[in-house]
Each structure stands twice: as C-alpha cells, then as structure tokens.
Structure 1
C-alpha cells in the first residue's frame, strides 16, 4: 500500500481517539490529585470540546431571539437541568414580550417598540417616585387656574374679560333655577357660566448625559441612564407640550433618540466634552418657546473640547483651554436665557469648583450627589421648577 495513504489513515484514527477541542485550541491543561487513565482522558477531552462548541454557539446568539436555535438537550447534558430550564425560559420570555407588543424581532435583532419604551420609562419613573416620601414630593399639582388649554371639568360665573368658553349645561340649569321650568328658557347675563381651564405652561429641556468611560466606574452609568428614561416618560406623559431633547456626550456630543435609550451604552472613549455638549444644546433650544433649561448629569471635569478645525481633542489632566471654552458656552447660554442645572456624581475638589463657577455665571443650580440619590434630585428639581414657572405666569 501507498505509505502516504497509510499515514493519512493513521492520522484519522488518532484524531478519532484524541478529539481536538474547538476554538482553535490544541490542548487542555488538566489539574487534580486523581490520575486519569487513557479512556477517562479521552472522555474528558471530548466533553471539553463539546463545551467549547457550546460556548461558540452561545456567543453566536447575539440576542435572546436566537436562543431558540441552541440545542437545549445538549445544554442539559453538559450543564445540567437547571441551566437548560433557565435558557428555555429566556427564549420563551422573548416570545411573550413580542406577543405583548413590547419588542419586535427585526431581521434577527430585538428592538424595543414605542409601547415597550413607555413601559420601561413608567417602571423607571415609578421606581424613583416610590423612593421619595409623599410629603416631600406630593402630587405636584398646580392649583392656580387661568387662561390655558386643559379643562378642569369645573365652571365659574362669566366675568367681563374671561375667554367665552360657555358651559351650556350649567348656563341652562341656572336659567331654569331662576325662572322655573317651562319653555322657552330665557337666558340672563347672570346665568352664564364658563369652563375653567388649568393654567398651562410650556418648557423646553435638554438633558445632557455623560457617556464617558469614567461613568462606568462605581456603577454611575446605569442610574444616570435610568434617569434619562424616566425623564422622557415623565415629560411625554405629564407635560406633552414640553420639548425634550437628550444629548449624550463624551469626546463629542450627539443627539439620542428616545427609542435608543434602552440600548444606549457608555462610549469606549475618553473625554468629557462640555464645550460641544453646551453648544449643541444651545442650538436645539434656539427658537423654542417657554422656559429653557439644560440638565447636565456628569462625573468629570471638561477634559475635551472642539478645535477651530472641528476636531475633538482630549487631555488628562484637563487643560485650561477646555475649561475656558466650556465657560464661554455657559456665558452664551446665560445671554440667551437658558438655565443650566448640573447634577454631579462623586465630585472631587476641582470638579466642584468648575461646576460652582458655571452656576455663578449662569445663576443656575448645582447639585452634588451620588448615583443612589441622583434620580431623586433630578426629578424633584424638575417638577419644582415647573411649578415655579407656572406660578410666575
């Protein structure tokens, strides 16, 4: 027989006896006090190879929608019944969420629907409000009534100068009470009642969310992201006439759509570019009606800015140029009547000094807090500010 053919056959037999593990590895390191015979070693290598194949299969399942393609029986054999049940429940959960209209499976990728976004926002909002005492927050209702657009389902006698939104039912009832039953019903000026309306105000808000890499440290990013989702839910449900924009910023600043919030993550880049964030927020608020404010959530000094050529530059420690450019933007905000309220996480001495200087220039407010209490500060301040705005009009 041909020697080359015999060598190939020998290689195939050896491969069957010593199965190679997946992922391109050529062997495994074994440890332990108990020695293994050849058969046990071959069985262990086969199991390790299957585990590698399982790992590769799980990595290919980029989202829960693809978990149904994983071999549940193989998972049960290798990892046990508990792991198989957990994987199966996760795959079933995807189907339940899709049937409920909370997510869509678009080309193998899960996307949150508008209904799902509202559910996430409402849950985040409910969680934050539950942490607050009722006497501290209350319902934040504005008792003042005036010229507006929202009916209060109440009425009042007409007075000269009132908008003539006639409450016909109350008016006719007054006339009947005055003259008695019978037709025709004759109206007198004192019979007229008009609908009361709530005094509605409008505000325009830009939320600046720090996405720099430092936000990952000390678990700051998730609470900040939850605040952004809760703010969107609060404004869209309670203040639908308000304008809200959310801007993420790290080395540069860029707008975030509401439907992107559940999936948004921190940037794997260094830099806290307040200069660019303030400039972009100012442009978005240009021409907007009502009270204008910027809410900034950050944990770092301005370590980045945009050069005259339009490129971002990062330096650490921060340089004075980055601070000065950010301060110039704060001055522009102040000149255009835009209030800057800063919520700073775990501030050090230099960051506190910079933020306090911004607050002094802008006459806004600065809050130094932690990730645990961030949501309390932001939501309470926003609602109190809306109440002050309504009273001033």
Structure 2
C-alpha cells in the first residue's frame, strides 16, 4: 500500500525514462552464481528455496564485493529513526502556539486599554475620563473572564469589541489561519498549493467531499455487480477503476488542484485520502486528553458547517471500511521537548505513518516479489541511498535466479530446477575442496598404460597380448628408419607400434547418510549432506560412468534419489538402523557392475533393526539382536566384495569399538573425523580409491 500511495503522491513530475543501453548506465548486474553459492548451505540444510530466499532477504548478502543490506537491518534503522523523532518532539506545540498567540493578542489589547485610560486622565475632561474608565474596566473584566480552553477564548474574543485595531487584526488573522489549518487537517487538504484556503476554496472542498462520497457509492454498487469468482483484490480494483474511469476523470478535472499527488485511478485517489485521514486520526490519538479536547473544541467552534463535517465523517467511515490496515488506530508516544505546530505535526504524522507502513511491508515480505510493492524513492527518503539500492536489488532476486534457470515457479511456489541441484553439488564440492590442491581433485592420473577400450592418442611398441590396434604411420616410419628407405617397405614385428588405450574402471558407490535426530542436534547434518551433494557432483561430472546411490537411515532406511537430495532432512524419530541401510545398499549395488563400496556417515551406534516381519525395532542402549543383525549384513556385503568405509562424527567409545569390528570383518577403513573435516576425508578418499582401482587395472 505504501508503494501505491507514494506513487500517486509523486505525480507526473517523477516519470521514468527508458533508453537503449549504451554502456554508460549503472545497473545491478551481479553474479547469480555468487548469489546462489551464498544460499548453498541453507538449501542443503532445509532444501526449500523459498525459505532460503526469506533468510537471504532477512540477513542480506554480499556479491561482487558489494554489500546488500538485509531487511532486519533496515527494520532496525526504521525503528531507530521513529524513536528519534518521538524523543525529540512534543505535540503540545499544536495548541501551545495557539494559546501563546491568544495571550499575545490579549496582552496587546490590555496595553491599548492602559494607554486609553491614561490618555483620558491626562485630557482633563472628567466626563470623558469617567466614560473611558468605565469602558476600560468593562473590557478588562471581559478579558479577565476569558475561559481557559482555546475554543472558549476564541468564541468570547469573536464577540469582544477590541480597543486596539492592531490586536483586532492579529486576532482576525489568527482565527482565519486556524480555520484554514483545521480545514486543511480536518478535511486533509494538506497540499503545497492550497495553503491559503479562501471561502470559495472551502465551499469547493465541501463539494469535492460530497462528490467523492458519491463516487464511493458508485464503486460499491459496481463491486457488488462483479462476479464473486474474481477473488484477487488487485484484479477487482483494476476492473472497478476501468468501469469508473470516466467519472474519475470528470472529478479530477474539477478538483484535481486538491491533489498534487496526481492519482491516475480512483483506487489511487482513495488511498491518498485514506492515508491523509489516517494520519490526522493518528495525530489526535497521540495527543493527551487535554490536547485532544482543545483541538476538538476549536474544530467545533471554527468549522460550524454541519454538512461539511457530515461529508468528512462519511468519507472517513467509507475509507476505514475499504482500507482497514491504513493505521487508523495507531498512536505515538511523543516524549521530547521540541514543540510541533499544526502544520509540522501533520507532516510528522505522515512521516511516522510512512515509517510504519514500510516497516510492516518489510516485516511481511516473505519473498523477493513482495518488495516490488515498496516505493524506492520514498524508501530512499526514509532510509538513504544504500537501503534503497539494496531493496531494488533484493526485489529482483527471484527474477534473476529464474532467468538463470536455477528456480522455477510452480503454482505460486518456487522450486529448484535440475540445473540448480547440479549447482548445489558443484558449490558443495568447491567448498569442501577449497583447501586442497586443485591438481589432486577429480583426475584419472595413470602411472601404467595398457590395453583397454578408450583411445589415449599415444602409441607404444607392440607386445604379445596387446590388442592389435596398429598405428600405420608410426609402424611404417619405424620400418623406414630400420631399413634406410626404399620401396617396397618391408615390415617386421619389431616395427609394429600400437595405440595405447585406457582401461575403463567403473566404480559403484552407495553413500549411507545418517538421518537420525542426533545429527542436527550435534550440528552434524549439514556437513554430512554437503558431502552427499558433493559426491554426486563429483561422480556425475568427473566419473559419469560411475554409479552413486544414496540411502538415508534412521528408524528405517530408504533410498534417496539425487534430485531429492536438496529437500532431504532429518527424521523426527529415534533410531539408527544401519542393518536396514546395509540391506538396501547391497540391493542397489547388486544391480551394478565394477568395484563396489559403501560409504557410511554416522554419529551413533546401531540402535534399530528390521525384524523378520518387516517391522522396525528400537532399543537404547543397543540390543544384542540389533548388533547381530547389523553385523550379519556386514558379512554379506563382505562376501559380495563390497567394501564398507565408515566416517564417524562425535564417536563414542562404544561406536568406535563397533566400527572397528566392522572394519576387521570387512576390510574397509574407519575414519574418526569432525564436521569440519568430514568432506575433505570422504572425497579425497573416494578419489584416491578411484586412482588405486585405475592403477591396478593398468599393465
């Protein structure tokens, strides 16, 4: 709502001009890769891009060396600026200045009475002096009997016969000024171009209010005629504005000078009026009972046109029904010493209202698109250039990620694309390998060469048993060098040179990921999930022929598809069912060829298993049956040639003994690691394991 109010307020003097890009314009083109990388851990932990974007908005971020403020920081600044104004100002000035002006008028009149009495006494005319003294005493008595309230003082002074023409003029000017100010605030005609409302202006204001109420009635009738199936408020407003555009244009042609905001539709006009009237309501609510009574009395005294007041009250009721969230009931606790006069108080209320509206909008912004409702120009006035620029950038986050192919909108909800899932894995891999030498990651380094299926584009002298992939050019060259040239070229077996080939070594791996409740409780879940994403990225990019399966296990185990990884979270159940996890891992590996291994990441001993009826059984401390059934699966994996490598986080002595037992039975390795080093150990071990396999197949 703030955006629409302020957009209308600026009017046609703040138009936006578009031109062809010539390289000189300043834009907000920052790297979506860097942006997405900052969301990576959040996406890994929760798997929800909507939640990740919300947290990014709240916390802010840095891209390409540029810091983008978060909404939390902006809201804190809004609260600070609001409190600063409240602690500086005092609404008492709204009526204190009026009271002081009236005291000055009365003092000026008393001085005139004193001068008149002294002049009569000095004249020597006793009769004149007596009459003058009686008149002066009567008027002094009238001044002494002025009531304490401002409205009563003005009423009595309007019936008072001033001695001083200067005091009379000053009082008349004050009354006219108050009438104008009350009119401008009461009717909310707070504009730069209408500071001096003439009687004709007041009459036109009454006509304007009456016609605006008539427009509201037409709008309500038109709204009732619209189909109830149109439940989008923005769409209903658009349709109503179209139907009433002619009436609105006619209204603005006659009364547009009251609205320098230059609203373009009836909806914008009504929001302008709602904002003004809500600010006046807030000002009255923020006053002390005495201050409020003073102003209400003045209004009743100076604005006696009952029809006008009825029109204003009617419009206020209609607008409150249309815009219940405009802040009609808000109030502010001013505690400062700097008094505000009438005009300054009204302006301050508008500013405080804008601060509140912006704060509410930022507080309720659940996605970047919601920030499109913020008026950037007004945000710049309230918070400064840096915050305004940050809001502009954050409003485009979802659009930028969607254009980069990383997210897509599915029925109003943002979802990760397959490209985003690959990117998450790549980012996790990069993060885990950032402390390692680049030439040690993901390379098939060979120390031995031999026969195979993949061409190496190198040659070697033929040896018995090599595939006879003869390199004709090198073979003939060898024969010519041996014989010294001439034709025909005679070949000998020692001339034969064959193409080198690379053995294809296929590795099948299942990662068993502990999803029990202890993982997040001990801060182990995020690094473990990061390893899973990084392994998937490594294998799919560097070893596309390899297989990586993922099994998550807690009370029971389940297969996790790579595309499901970003959304995988821990289970809110007790139990670490390694037995079921090994069972599923073996079944998955049985469908694939090559060397086979299981990598298990866990922080707890086995406390659950699946019984003969397929039902999960849980016990802590671990039951003997659970341990035996788990070791039975280890023995089966060993017989099937499957190596089990285990990475333990926060290992207890019991877990350590159990994993050492697995390693002895299976021949796999056990790593005692921490969340900080888990990724390095797992991925380096995977790559080293791959190298050893490749080396053992060379000859």
Structure-1-length-normalised TM-score: 0.78
* Cα distance in 2, alignment partners of residues 33 and 321 from structure 1: 72
Match of 1:96 among 395, 400, 403: 400
Structure 2 counterparts to residues 176-215 of structure 1, below 5 A: 176-178=480-482, 187-215=491-519
Matches of 2:681 and 2:589 in 1, distance apart? 23
Residue 287 of structure 1, CA deviation: 4.3
Asked whether the equivalents of residues 444 and 694 of structure 2 are also in contact (C-alpha less than 8 Å), the reply is: no
> Which of 1 and 2 has higher RCO (CA within 8 Å, sep 6+)?
2
Give the Å deviation of 1:135.
Answer: 9.9
Q: From the superposition, tell whether residues 325 and 239 of structure 1 become closer, same or farther in structure 2 (CA, over 3 Å).
A: same
Aligned CA distance change for structure 1 residues 157 and 320 (closer, same or farther; 3 Å): same
Contact 1:208 1:249 in 2 (8 A): yes
- Identify the residue that residue 305 of structure 1 maps to in structure 2: 609
Q: Secondary structure of the residue that 1:226 maps to in structure 2?
A: helix
| Residue of structure 2 in register with 1:159 after alignment | 463
Within the alignment, does 1:146 sit opposite 2:447 as a pair?
no
Q: 1:42 to 1:321 in 2, by over 3 A?
A: farther
Q: 2:542 aligns with which of 231, 238, 241?
A: 238
Which of residues 276, 288, 293 is equivalent to 2:592? Answer: 288
Secondary structure at the residue paired with 1:308? coil
Equivalent in the alignment of 2:670 = 366
Aligned in 2, Cα 1:88/1:297: closer, same or farther, shift over 3 Å? farther
Distance 1:32 1:207, change over 3 A: farther
Q: Distance in 1 between matches of 2:499 and 2:548?
A: 30
Q: Give structure 2 stretches of 5+ with no counterpart.
A: 1-313, 338-344
**Is the 8 Å Cα contact of residues 19 and 49 (structure 1) preserved in structure 2?**
no
Once the two structures are superposed, what CA deviation does each residue of 1:324-382 show, in whole Å capped at 9, x if it has no partner? 33222222222222111110111122222222222222222111110111012112222
2-side partners of 1:30 and 1:351: how far apart? Answer: 61
Quick check: 200-209 or 139-148, which moved more?
139-148
Structure showing greater radius of gyration is 2
State which drifts further: 328-337 or 170-179: 170-179
Unmatched runs of 5 consecutive residues or more in structure 1? 1-8
Residues 329-344 of structure 1 aligned to structure 2 (within 5 Å): 329-344=633-648
Deviation at 1:207, TM superposition (A): 0.5
Preserved CA contact (<8 Å) 1:67 1:87: no
- Normalized against structure 2, the TM-score is what? 0.46
* Alignment CA distance shift 1:186-1:117 (3 Å): farther
Question: Is the helix fraction higher in 1 or 2?
Answer: 2
Is contact 1:247-1:256 (8 Å) kept? yes
SS at match of 2:453: strand
CA contact (8 A) 2:602 2:647 kept: yes
- Is 326-335 or 277-286 further displaced after alignment? 326-335
Give distance in 2, aligned partners of 1:72 and 1:92. Answer: 14
Classify 1:142/1:109 alpha carbon distance in 2 versus 1 (closer, same or farther; 3 Å): farther
1:4-19 map, 5 Å: none
User: CA contact under 8 A between 2:362 and 2:371: conserved in structure 1?
Assistant: no
Q: 1:181 to 1:300 in 2, by over 3 A?
A: same
Deviation at 1:297, TM superposition (A): 0.6
C-alpha contact (below 8 Å) 1:21/1:48 kept by paired residues = no
How is 1:1-393 mapped onto 2 (pairs within 5 angstroms)?
Answer: 51-52=359-360, 54-56=362-364, 58-59=365-366, 61=367, 66-67=369-370, 70-71=373-374, 73=376, 82=386, 85-132=389-436, 141-178=445-482, 187-393=491-697
Deviation at 1:273, TM superposition (A): 1.8
Change (3 A) 1:262 1:193: same
Q: Deviations over 1:155-201 (max 9, x none)?
A: 01222321011223322433444456777655443332111122332
Aligned equivalents of 2:675, 2:331: Cα separation in 1: 43
Of stretches 71-80 and 108-117 in structure 1, the one that deviates more from structure 2 is: 71-80
Change (3 A) 1:291 1:100: same
* Distance change >3 Å, CA 261–CA 80, structure 1 → 2: farther
The 8 Å contact of residues 19 and 45 in structure 1, kept in 2 or not, is answered as no
Contact 1:251/1:273 (<8 A) preserved:
yes
Give the match's secondary structure for 2:396.
helix
Cα root mean square deviation, aligned: 4.1
Deviates more, 1:341-350 or 1:328-337: 328-337
- TM-aligned CA distance change 1:236 to 1:135, over 3 Å: closer
* Distance in 2 between residues matched to 1:307 and 1:31, nearest whole Å: 68
For the residues of structure 2 that align with 1:29 and 1:279, how far apart are their CA atoms? 66
Q: Secondary structure at the match of 2:689?
A: helix
Taking the aligned partners of 1:301 and 1:125, their CA distance within structure 2 comes to 28
| DSSP-derived class of the 2:569 partner | coil
